Amino acid sequence: MSTILIKNGQIVTATDDYVADILVQDGRVHTIGKEIEVGADIPVHDASGLLVLPGGVDVHTHLEFNFGDFETIDDFETGTRSAAFGGTTTLVDFCNQGDKTPMDALEGWHKRAEKACVDVSAHVILNKVDDEALAQMRGLIHDEGISSFKLFTAYPGIFMVDDAGLFKAMRQARDNNAMICVHAENGGVIEVLIQEALAAGHTGPKYHEATRPSIMEGEATQRVITISELAEAPVYIVHLSASEALDAVTRARDRGVPVFAETCPHYLFLDKQEYERPGFEAAKFVMTPPLRECSHQHDLWRGLKTDDLQVISTDHCPFCFHEQPNGILYSKQQGVDNFNKIPNGAPGVETRLPLVFDGGVHKHQMSINRFVQLTATAPAKLFGLFPRKGTIAVGSDADIVIFDPNQKWTIKAEQQHSKIDYTLFEGKEIMGKVRKVFLGGRLIVEEGTWHGKRGMGKFVKRGNAGKI
Ligand SMILES: [Zn+2]
């Protein structure tokens, strides 16, 4: 494979910040130093005045994700290409067990993921924790490199598991150096509220928020943490949106319990006012958990500062707003008469790095190191990808982003590379833009132009999860 040199960039990792050159060979960082000399035949990328960052690691995406009557619109080609344009070079996507065994489900996921343009791994979703699934967890962890699983305390009849299943899966994960991720909301109570709302004729998209109160996220998060304490297992709370849930995480961490949590850009920058949009527009913002009162945002920024939240991922789960020619499966319009039928999810994989850079580094006194930690290093460490991913170091994969911290631009759906027909952040002005992206030393994005190839992303076997 080829050799390249990235010259004079400001290299930023979770701990370092200095100007140097990076020599890349055979897909990895070979040498970092001052004034590295190369022959005239070696491509040189001048990064003077720009940041050189490790490629982003997004540990929460749903590509070609099928559940019931819905399927996300991005396949592994379009979803990963969109990620690359946003400076993300590794995804840990969700593989849904559905009505299969976990092993069979993973086989199907691998087939779909062959199209990936960036590196990928999967968390396996367990919706049935029986003896077979528990036994297969061992094989998935030790033979397949799948060191994390996701369980739900929400969506009864589809994904929800009971406390016993959660407890058993946590112990099995603990015994095998893996980690359980949990979508924590009280699914039973929420289902009652949904049926009551529909019976009262409340069918519009804003009732999605009204029927998923933040205290029910707090209650489930506390319950999950308590069960994990008994299991003596690390646990990771996905897409944390509510102050009550953050309180539970903070209290547990203060006691030294290995609880980790992520939040997502939409919870940091948007609030429930979006549900007051006229007509069906609010359906664009129907994701789970829903957007909260503004006060929760302040608490989430506090949590990022105090390391009670360790990761920012996207929960990229794209359903188009408008009906699609290839069927209603992919569209929010499915729920035009009933908010409970609006597919839950929103796009975001392409805008994460610039949004967090602009909102965090420029506007919330976040250091650039912390920005890298939240978007690349911590997720890589927690999910067994570090030091191959999540940093720039000798021997690590040459997944590198050249980023202009001062370039201004405006987010527009039509300029995104996902198949989705909207963005949550239409018209938002951003300072900080991805200029070039390298995957394993190969230039895949250059000033908005795609040089990557369908299928060039690799499946990455992961090591132990649950430590940082
Ligand atoms: Zn999700």
Residue 323: what pLDDT? 86
Span 25-34, pLDDT tens digits: 999 999 999 9
In the numeric block, the tokens 């004729």 are attached to: 201
Whole-prediction pTM: 0.98
Q: How far is the CA of 253 from the centre of ligand 1 (A)?
A: 23
* Phi and psi angles of residue 23, each rounded to the nearest 5 degrees, phi first: -95, 125
Distance CA 377, CA 349 (A): 17
The yes-or-no verdict on residue 359 having pLDDT over 70 is yes
Q: How far is the CA of 184 from the centre of ligand 1 (A)?
A: 11
Name beta bridge partners: 311.
262
Residue 227: what pLDDT? 98
Span 266-304, pLDDT tens digits: 999 999 999 999 999 999 999 999 999 999 999 999 999
Among left, alpha and beta (phi > 0; psi -120 to 50; other), residue 127 is: alpha
Q: How far is the CA of 61 from the centre of ligand 1 (A)?
A: 6
Q: How far is the CA of 332 from the centre of ligand 1 (A)?
A: 16
Residue 328: what pLDDT? 59
Query: DSSP 3-state assignment of 123?
Result: strand
Name beta bridge partners: 359.
none
Query: DSSP 3-state assignment of 38?
Result: coil
CA distances from 99 to 67, 103, 137 (A): 11, 12, 16
Nearest to 373 by CA among 296, 307, 441: 307
Q: How far is the CA of 94 from the centre of ligand 1 (A)?
A: 8
Residue 376: what pLDDT? 99
The yes-or-no verdict on residue 95 having pLDDT over 90 is yes
Nearest to 83 by CA among 438, 351, 358, 269: 351
The yes-or-no verdict on residue 1 having pLDDT over 70 is no
Q: How far is the CA of 139 from the centre of ligand 1 (A)?
A: 24
Span 315-341, pLDDT tens digits: 999 999 998 776 657 899 999 999 999
Burial (0-12, 13-18, 19+ Cβ within 10 Å), 39: exposed
Nearest to 409 by CA among 378, 432, 381: 432
Q: How many CA atoms lie within 13 A of 29 on its CB side?
A: 26
Q: How far is the CA of 27 from the centre of ligand 1 (A)?
A: 31
Residue 327: what pLDDT? 62
Q: How far is the CA of 267 from the centre of ligand 1 (A)?
A: 13
Average pLDDT over every residue of 94-113: 97
Q: How far is the CA of 60 from the centre of ligand 1 (A)?
A: 6
* Token couple for 351: 């805008």
Got the DSSP string for 438-450? EETTEEEEETTEE
| Residues flanking ion ligand 1, Cβ below 5 Å | 315
Residue 69: what pLDDT? 78
Name beta bridge partners: 120.
91, 459
Residue 292: what pLDDT? 98
Name beta bridge partners: 54.
400
CB 369 within 8 A of CB 14: yes
Distance CA 257, CA 229 (A): 7
Span 236-272, pLDDT tens digits: 999 999 999 999 999 999 999 999 999 999 999 999 9
Q: How far is the CA of 80 from the centre of ligand 1 (A)?
A: 16
Nearest to 94 by CA among 67, 69, 121: 121
Average pLDDT over every residue of 2-20: 97
- How much is the CA Rg of the chain, to the nearest whole Å? 21
Average pLDDT, whole number, for the chain?
Answer: 97
Query: DSSP 3-state assignment of 129?
Result: coil
Q: How far is the CA of 62 from the centre of ligand 1 (A)?
A: 6
Q: How far is the CA of 93 from the centre of ligand 1 (A)?
A: 9
Name beta bridge partners: 91.
58, 120
Average pLDDT over every residue of 154-163: 96
Query: DSSP 3-state assignment of 404?
Result: strand
* Token couple for 121: 């791994």
Query: DSSP 3-state assignment of 429?
Result: strand
How many other CB atoms are there within 10 angstroms of residue 69's CB atom? Answer: 10
Q: How far is the CA of 241 from the centre of ligand 1 (A)?
A: 12
Nearest to 372 by CA among 39, 155, 88, 127: 88
Average pLDDT over every residue of 365-383: 98
Residues 6+ positions from 300 with CB-CB distance below 8 Å: 240, 241, 246, 263, 267, 268, 309
Q: What are the b/e assignments for 318-329, b being 16+ CB within 10 Å?
A: bbbeeeeeeeeb
